[in-house]
Amino acid sequence: MAQIKQTAGRDQLGAFAPEFAHFNDDVLFGENWNNQDIDLKTRSIIVISVFMGRGLVDDSLKYHLQTAKQNGVTKKEIVAIITHAAFYAGWPVAWAVFNLAKTIWTGDEAVATGDATLAEYAKTLFFPVGQPNDAYAKYFSGKSWLAPVSTAQVPVFNVTFEPGCRNNWHVHHATTGGGQMLIGVGGRGFYQEEGKDPVEIRPGTVINIPAGVKHWHGAAPDSYFSHLAIPVPGEETSDEWLEPVSEEEYKRVW
């Protein structure tokens, strides 16, 4: 089973209450959550039930709902869990938890595309998969999907690639500033600058692409892949799309 690593205690209370932070990160999450006598999905369901029973419907429950989704609780299951708990915990609590859950189990939209494998993959993501990436399809080899995460202030898009899918070689131009940031959020993929080795992207990997650098990004041959794409503000920015990444070049990531 995956090892749980928690830093919320030290991140939020490390300076104020270091011992509590230690108990939170190292004992509650470090030892208890990593005890394998019951699986992570079951642990998540227990925590949600207890939170509901106590009427705790704040950001910490939101965190546990997100974790539950990561631990494999499907949309159908969370709806049944909240409905079941509603009779014991109270109707208003269920309403509040449903309103939180609705904001988290959104990736299941992929089910609507009829792609069962994509739907399974989408359950592992915090961010929605969104819609088929038709506008850019001509610059991609393989199927991709696009979901706006933020359209205000700094635009952020979640881009999902099917296994083997990658975009063409391209350049983000700017006279000053510009370029692009990628943050891996699901599956396994790659980023490659021309003349350099491909760099693996896993959830949490941050890639800073300067303006003017020729590159491509995309999925590993055997994995769906999602990254957040963040255009870096600059002057006179434009994207130049070039030739597809050849099979020969793509084979370097195998």
Rounded to a whole number of angstroms, the minimum distance from the CB of residue 162 to Mn ion is 18
Number of neighbours of residue 247 by Cβ within 10 angstroms: 8
Which value, to the nearest 10 degrees, does the dihedral of the CA atoms of residues 68, 73, 74, 79 take? Answer: -80
In the chain, the largest separation of any two C-alpha atoms, in whole Å, equals 62
**Residue 18: partners with Cβ closer than 8 Å, 6 or more residues away:** 10
In whole angstroms, give the CA distance from residue 123 to residue 110.
9
* Nearest CB to Mn ion, comparing residues 14 and 231: 231
Which residue sits closest to Mn ion, CB atoms considered? 180
Residues contacting Mn ion: total by CB under 5 A: 1
Rounded to a whole number of angstroms, the minimum distance from the CB of residue 124 to Mn ion is 23
Q: Are strands 176-177 and 180-187 parallel, antiparallel or unpaired?
A: unpaired
Which one of 44-52, 78-86, 129-137, 176-184 is the stretch in contact with Mn ion (CB under 5 A)?
176-184
Rounded to a whole number of angstroms, the minimum distance from the CB of residue 182 to Mn ion is 7
* Nearest CB to Mn ion, comparing residues 23 and 241: 241
* Nearest CB to Mn ion, comparing residues 79 and 171: 171
Rounded to a whole number of angstroms, the minimum distance from the CB of residue 140 to Mn ion is 12
Rounded to a whole number of angstroms, the minimum distance from the CB of residue 189 to Mn ion is 12
* Nearest CB to Mn ion, comparing residues 96 and 253: 253
The residue whose two tokens read 């309103």 is 99
Rounded to a whole number of angstroms, the minimum distance from the CB of residue 177 to Mn ion is 15
* Nearest CB to Mn ion, comparing residues 141 and 180: 180
Is residue 209 a contact partner of residue 181, using CB atoms and an 8 Å limit?
yes
* Nearest CB to Mn ion, comparing residues 61 and 211: 211
Rounded to a whole number of angstroms, the minimum distance from the CB of residue 209 to Mn ion is 6
Is residue 242 a contact partner of residue 171, using CB atoms and an 8 Å limit?
yes
Q: How many residues are present in the chain?
A: 254
Which one of 11-19, 93-101, 146-154, 177-185 is the stretch in contact with Mn ion (CB under 5 A)?
177-185
DSSP state for residue 152 in the 8-state scheme: S
In whole angstroms, give the CA distance from residue 213 to residue 196.
11
In whole angstroms, give the CA distance from residue 6 to residue 13.
13
* Nearest CB to Mn ion, comparing residues 41 and 214: 214
In whole angstroms, give the CA distance from residue 162 to residue 43.
31
Determine which residue in the list 180, 192, 226, 237 makes contact with Mn ion, applying CB under 5 A.
180
Which one of 4-12, 60-68, 142-150, 180-188 is the stretch in contact with Mn ion (CB under 5 A)?
180-188
Interface residues toward Mn ion, by CB under 5 A: 180
